[in-house]
Every structure is written in C-alpha cells, then in structure tokens.
A and B are shown apart, each in its own frame.
Chain A
Amino acid sequence: MKIVNTSVPKKDALQLLTGQPVYTDDLAPKDCLIVRLLRSPYASAIVKSVNKKAALLIPDIEAVYTWEDLPADAKRFTLAGQTYPEPSPHDHLILDRRLRYVGDPVAIVAGRNEAAVEKALALIKVEYEVLEPLLDPTVAKDNKIIVHPEDDWEALCPVGADNKRNLCAHAESNAGDIEATLADCDIVLDRTYHTKAVQQCMMETYRTFCTIDTYGRLVITGATQVPFHVRRIVALALGIPKSKVRVIKPRIGGGFGAKQTCVSEVYPALVTWLTKKPSKIVFSRYECMTASSPRHETHMRVRLGAMKDGRIRGIDMYAVSNTGAYGDHGPTTVDLTGHKPITLYRTESYRFVADVVYTNNMPAGAYRGYGAPQGMFAVESAVNELAALLGMDAFLLREKNIIHEGDYLPSYYGETNTSCALDRCLARAKELSGWEEKGLCRKLQNGKVRALGMAMAMQGSAIPYLDVGGATLRLGDEGTYNLLIGASDMGTGCDTILAQIAAEVLECDLDAVSVFGVDTDASPYDSGSYASSTTYLTGQAVYQAAAELRRRLTLLAAKLLKCEADEIIFDGKKAAKIDGSGALTLAELAVASQAGNDVALDVTASTKSTASPPPFMVGVAEVDIDTETGEVRPVHYYGVVDCGTCINPNLAKVQTEGGIVQGIGMALSENVTYAPDGRVYENSLMQYKIPSRLDNGRLTVVFEPSYEKSGPFGAKSIGELVINTPGPAIAAAIANAVGARFYELPVTPEQVAMAAAARKKK
C-alpha cells in the first residue's frame, strides 16, 4: 500500500489552521434574519397564552412565532438523525403548547439585528400553567406524571415504547439461562452504577442558516453530521415535500454525535420558509449546555457471576436510561449499554434488560460511544472489583475470559468475531504501562499516591443492514478525480481518508483526488457520519467506485486503441496495450472522455454491511491521588487499539487521544446536575469543566491491528471506541489507591477524600 496506512496531513489542514472562513457562520449571508428562541423557564408547563403584540412593534422584528403559527400539515417528528422509520419516537413539534424541560422553546423570534431580537424576547408575555415536573428517572416508569400524554405521539418501530407509561423504549435480550448460571457460580457480584448526562462540548455550537433558492426551494446550510436525515426531518416538521429541501454541510467545528440530532435546523427553516427571507440561528454556549442533546444519564445494575478460578460465567444487566423530555436516540443508545461491554467476555449466558424513560430533564441524544461508555463503566468496574475480590490481577482475569478471533458472539447479534487483536492489546498495554513493575499503588514522596487501573472496550463499525455508504468518483480534467461523498467530515478527517482509499485503488497522488461533501442535491446518498460507519462503510463505497472507475477507464482506452479491454493495462498514469503497440496517458483519456465519448467516467457506489465488526481497545490509567483533598490528577494514559488497518495512522492516533481526554473528563470533572426545579446547574464552560491541557497528563497510544476482511484494506472503525476506557480505568485506579470502589461518574474529589478518610478511621 502506498497511500493507505500513511500519515498524510488532512486535505483541509492548512485552511483550518490559518483560520479561513469555511464554517456555517462564516458563510451565512450578511442580511440574514437573526433567529433566537424564547425558552421555557419551567421544567413542566402548559402555554396558556402568548401576547406578542409589544414584541412585534419593534421596528426590526420580522416575525414572532408560537405554537399557533405552525403550518397546518406539521406533524410530530424526531430530531434524531436516523434512518427512516426512526426507532426514536415521533414526539417533537417545532413549538409545542406543552413544555417539557427548562429550555423547551416557547416562541421563535426573527429580526434584522441581535439587539432588536433581544428586546423582543423580553417583551413577549407568556402565561404558563406550571405543572409538577418529573425529574427522577428511577421512578419515571408508570409515574402519575406523564411527560408525553398527547395522543399524536407515535413510535414508528417496535421498541417497546409506551408514552402513557413514560417509556421511550423497553428492551430485553438474552442467551442461555442466566438465573441458572448465576445460581451455580462461586461468586455473584451485584452492584449498581450511575453515569451522568455529559455534554459533547464541540467547540462550534449548533448553528444553521437557511435561504430560498432560484427554484423556491428551502436550502439549509449548517453544522450537521446527517445532511440527508436533516432533509427528511425538516420536511416532516414543516409539513412540506422533501423534494423542496436541500441541505448543505460546510466545515463543522466538531460533532461527537451532538450534530446527529437536528437541534438547531428546524427554527430558521420555519422562519425562512414562512418569510422567504434568509435567516440564521447560532446557539449560545448557554443554550448548548442547557437545551441540547447530551449523553443519556444511566443507572445500571450488574450481576456478574464467576468461579473462584476466575472463570466469568454470566453477566446480567438492567439499565434505566434517562432520555429526558424527548426520545431522540433513546431506544438505540441503550442497546449499546448492554451489548458492547457484555460481548467482551466469553460467558455461558447473559441477559440485558433496559427501560428508557421520559423525564422533565434536558433531552438526551447521541454522544460518541452512544450508550457504550455507560455500560463499559459498569461492567468493567464490576470485573475490576471481581479481580480484587479474587485476589487476581485485572489483566490475568481478562486474559482468562476475553473473546477471541473466530468466536461466535451471542450477545452481539449472533455475529462472528471476524477480526480481533484484543489479546494482543492486553499484552501490549500491560507491557507499555509498566503494569507489573510499577504495582497498583505506591506512595510518592510528596504524600500523594500513584495508582494504576485498567479497562477494555469495544464498539461497532456501522449499523448492519441499515446504514448506506455512498461515493461518486468521476474523472476530472487533466487526469484528476473528483470524489463526491454524503458522509460528513466533522473534523475527523474522513474527506482525507476516503481520498486515500480512492488514490490507493486508482494508483494516483492524493492531490489528484478532490473531495466534495456534502450537498444533498449533489452528493450520493449516505446515512451520515455516525455509528462509527464512515471509514468502514463509506470507505467500502469509495473502494468499489474506484475499482469500477478503473474498469471504465480501461474500456475507454480499449475503444480508443481499438482493442479489447483485457488487452489494456492501467497503471494509474497511463493505459497501455499489453503488446506495447499503443498507450494513452490519463490526461489524454480525460480529454477523450469529453469529446465524442459514450463511456460514463462517473461511478456511484452504494454499500451496506451485513456485520458491524468491533474494534477493540485496552486502556491503562496512571493517576496521582491526594488522599487529603481527594484531588485526582491523570499522570499518564496508555491506550492500545485494534481498529484493523489504520487508513491514516496519525489521524487514528489523534482520534484516540481526543477520545481518551473526553473520557477523562467524563471520569473526573464533567457533570450535569439539576436544581430541584429542573434547571441545569452547569450552564457554561466555567461550571462544566472539560479537560484543559493541564488536566490530561501524558498520553501514549499505539496500535495492535487485526485485519478485517470486509473493511476497506482491512479497516474497522476508530471514532467512538476510544472514549470508553477512561471511566472504568480511572475509577479502578482510584479504588486501588484508597481501597474503596466508586459506582458513579464523575468520581468527585469529595467522594475520594471521604473514602480516604473513612479508610484512615478504620
């Protein structure tokens, strides 16, 4: 391989690093109406009346919309960017009379400048009927308070949803007889775990601008991971044909799943559709922290059955996932909470039961890992505690129990583990981190304690039988190529790695491939950038399109050289007859393709997958703990990853490093907590602490690749996997230092200090 598996810089790197205007708000027309939302101050209320007269008297105000102004054909929809019919229930309206969380939109204001809009927001008089909110997910099921009592609420898929019971979804799956297995075990560990609704905190907040084009269609430009889903969702929300909507994605300032939900699109879409004027919305960070789509807060009970020799025989998990006010990604995220961690182990039986419940909290959504980090924290923490109980090394316990290549995976949809270097990841992580030499816990001269903890993780690569990857490759001028994609590069570098795959197959320079994405009018259909699908699935589409384009090039050459196609050899630069009697350069073919030619040098390939091959990771956290203050400081994090072939090792490495640091935040500092009235306390980056570069310690990331035959050049996914290990690994390290276990993330200094103090008393 010449270009695949090399660390070429991202194609857009220098443009981004020199600050070129390539993001949504840099591109918005300067005469855009400014759109802002009046948001509910109550966690649960009914809008009795809205008086917008005073607001409309402000000269620069164009429109104020409330629930009464919705188009007659507007139907309930989900904001979740998923393939239709979405598993997420259709429970949203653009504006609803019933308000379900603090921040739920009450009115949309559009005006010609910020000041006027600001003033109008203050002048809108709303009469609310305030209702008692439901804020505790553990009592939400069958509670007397119902978050979605409306009759037009609709679940399109059989996900066990029942709005009258506050159930967004109910799931059960199992293999073997878990009760019999647990009854026969020497040890059954029974523990409950809790993870919070952490925020994606992409640096670019949600934003969208809308215009009307030459043909009277609505053009939506914005920061989204799912342009094709946005097209469908907005059309449904506005009650207009999908063919009237076009979606364009420029550069995105980070996504992490946040932009797999249509958080901001519908509002300017409504304004522009009704006024026929350009409009834009730019979420403030405050809105991004209080009215967005964070990770689902999850309560989990894990029963782990094992023998004294360390054989893990059964895992039973019950999860309650808090989807908040709306069910975006509710039914699907929880699936990963169970199936991803449980699958890491060869067990005789397993069971996973989950309830996804509505509450009057901020609605949850998709965030890197998509439910897996919660479950990984629970199961890996339980396995770490089991190791301690057995007096067995945490690595050794894993070595005895992990799945291997070729294994049948009953808890993973009955798939076969086609590529797996988890065993090698374990060995490498143990060696790399100095696990055996350093010991689990040692006192430092400064009075602190340095401790180690570890955890494993897996994820998937695309959603089998559902996701569609798409790529169009065409021969351009001078023997260059255009690669058109529908997948969204949100900073991850997919434009570049997909071009690497094309260049490898076409045997050309990377610079010869120009990438275009995304415009729903021009790009081939692609489900979008989520579910760790782009490299694996869209990558296959690029591979297939490139292979077919090669074939077409030889066809054209054969026509021109008056021979059969199998007499032509194409080496990327020229197509030559095998007998040496003639040849055409690629540039000559490009010219010929535009003159009297009937061979289309424009190939579109669509791909689906029949499996979701898991990538694997082992993480080791080395942390310093101040047992007086409870402060925990990461010193070094070691990550060993099997993502199959790295299409671009540098980008895979940076993905891993970024994911680890997000995981560190989830483990130690990132928290979403609610006041008794349902307000989020952590409403800015001042209260909600994401790691700065002083908080993460050093990182060492290496790869132990397996080879996934179904992926492009052996590749699996990388993006989501890497956020999973820090939670359980850091919690284990702290436990090793203070002798107490932690069952909730984040582990706060208070909890650590109290545990350390309690130990001293003993």
Chain B
Amino acid sequence: MELTLTLNGKKMSRLIEPGILLLDFLRSEGCYSVKRGCETSNCGLCTVFLDDVPVLSCSLLAARAQGRRVTTLEGLRQEAEELAAFIAAQGAEQCGFCNPGFMMNAIALLREKAEPSVDEIRDYLAGNLCRCSGYEGQLRGILAFIEWRKSEKGGAAR
C-alpha cells in the first residue's frame, strides 16, 4: 500500500507492506534513533511523536501515520541538544540505548508543562525504562534544565 506522511518535516510517499510497524518503517527510512527494547510495549525506547503526541512506534502500524506528521529525535536536533547537555552534565546517559525514547518523552513533557514537579516528571516518564542510571541522574538533569530555562540567560536563549 502507499503511505503518505510527513517525516521530520519532509513530506514523502512510500510503498509499504500493510503489516509493517511504524518502528520498522522508521528505521528503514534511516531514523536509527528509534530503538526496539521489547515486544510488549513496556520499555518506551521506541517513542516518537505522531502529530506532536508521543506514541510507542512498536505498537502502531506505519499505515496509521497516513496523512500525519511523524517526528523522531533526528527531527528535533536543536531542541534535543539543549536538554541533552544537562543530562550529559550528570553522566546520566550511560549506555545511551534508552536515551532517544527518554529524550522524546522528556521533550514532550517540557513542551506540555514548562515547570513540572518532581512527581510529575517521574509520572510522565514512568514508561521509559532505563537499566543503567537508576533514573536519579536523569531527574537531576531535567531539573537543572528547567532552572536554566527559567533563568534570564536561558529565557533569552530560547
């Protein structure tokens, strides 16, 4: 079947197998940030945006993206780099394999709410598993990023 969608801002049409998952389609299009960590929608590694809403691309047929906008971390480079610097400052990226899904969902949260509380951060990101960091460093990084964005310098930079 023919799939027409906007991937990372670029409109495209592709012939696809009707059964292909969005995750596999995106990787076949070179969006390698999208990772598979399980087969049961438990890990959050494959999180992408469908019309700016975070979804698990492992649990969605590519066909569902018909006529819609799909964004992966490749399409959010600048926004990602801003937050990434704060996670890196904590050393909380560790192996990095869960990072893209975590970054996508963290960006979604921070777009939705500028200053989430600690509990809100943990709730929102509960579906993003990480086996390396123990989560605490990721939390410190997000909190530091929020502080920076609040500060005059950060406000100006945005």
Contact = CB atoms under 8 A, between A and B. Distances in A.
Interface of A: 7, 9-10, 12-23, 26, 200-205, 251-256, 284-286, 490-493, 648, 650-651, 653-654, 656-662, 684-686, 690, 692-694, 696, 698-699
Nearest to B95: A491
Interface string B28-72: 000011110111101101000000000000000000000000001
Contacts of B126: 692-694
A661 B94 CA distance: 14
Nearest to B24: A114
Contacts, number: 178
A208 to B, nearest CB: 16
Interface string B77-97: 100110111011111111111
Given A203-B45, A693-B122, A654 B90 contact: yes
A660 B135 CA distance: 11
Contact of B132 (A17, A658, A686): A658
Contact of B134 (A15, A23, A490, A661): A661
Given A684-B40, A699-B136, A18 B81 contact: yes
Nearest to A200: B131
B42 A12 contact: no
Interface in B126-143: 126-139
Contacts of A202: 95, 97, 131
Given A203-B43, A285-B38, A658-B133, A253 B80 contact: no
A547 to B, nearest CB: 27
B22 interface: no
A490 B91 contact: no
A19 B129 contact: no
B103 A19 contact: yes
A14 B33 CA distance: 13
Nearest to A9: B88
Nearest to A16: B96
B95 A204 contact: yes
A5 B14 CA distance: 52
A648 B74 contact: no
Contacts of B80: 17-19
A491 B74 CA distance: 21
When A and B form their complex, which 6 residue pairs have the shortest distance between CB atoms, in order from nearest? A19-B33, A491-B95, A16-B96, A253-B97, A657-B134, A13-B88
A693 B139 contact: yes
Residue of B42, B93, B137 ringed by the most chain A CB atoms within 10 A: B93
24 contacts: A10-B88, A14-B84, A16-B99, A17-B87, A18-B33, A18-B80, A26-B32, A203-B35, A203-B37, A203-B43, A203-B129, A253-B35, A254-B131, A285-B40, A491-B132, A650-B91, A651-B91, A653-B137, A654-B92, A654-B133, A685-B38, A686-B40, A692-B127, A694-B123
Contacts of B32: 19-21, 26
* Residue from the set A26, A251, A693, A694 with the largest chain B CB neighbour count within 10 Å: A693
Nearest to A19: B33
A111 to B, nearest CB: 16
Interface in B85-126: 85, 87-100, 103, 122-123, 125-126
Nearest to B124: A693
A23 B43 CA distance: 18
Given A657-B136, A685-B42, 20 more contacts: A7-B91, A17-B84, A18-B33, A19-B80, A19-B103, A204-B95, A253-B98, A254-B94, A286-B39, A491-B94, A491-B95, A654-B133, A658-B133, A661-B134, A662-B131, A684-B42, A685-B37, A685-B40, A685-B129, A694-B126
B151 to A, nearest CB: 20
Contacts of A692: 126-127, 129
B91 A693 contact: no
B67 to A, nearest CB: 25
Interface residues of B, number: 52
B68 to A, nearest CB: 21
A254 B96 CA distance: 8
The secondary structure that dominates the A interface is loop
Q: Could you say which of B35, B88, B103, B137 has the most chain A C-beta atoms within 10 Å of its C-beta?
A: B88
B7 interface: no
B5 interface: no
B73 interface: yes
Contact of A14 (B81, B127, B130): B81
Q: Which of B91, B123, B135 has the most chain A CB atoms inside 10 A of its CB?
A: B91
Given A14-B84, A254-B95, A690-B129, A696 B134 contact: yes
A26 B84 CA distance: 21
Contacts of A205: 37
A698 to B, nearest CB: 7
Interface in B1-40: 32-35, 37-40
A14 B90 CA distance: 12
A491 B96 contact: yes
B88 A14 contact: yes
Contact of A203 (B97, B122, B125): B97
Contacts of A659: 134
A256 B94 CA distance: 12
A9 B89 contact: yes
A205 B35 CA distance: 11
Contacts of A201: 131
A696 B95 contact: no
A683 B130 CA distance: 18
A98 to B, nearest CB: 29
A639 B90 CA distance: 18
A686 B42 CA distance: 6
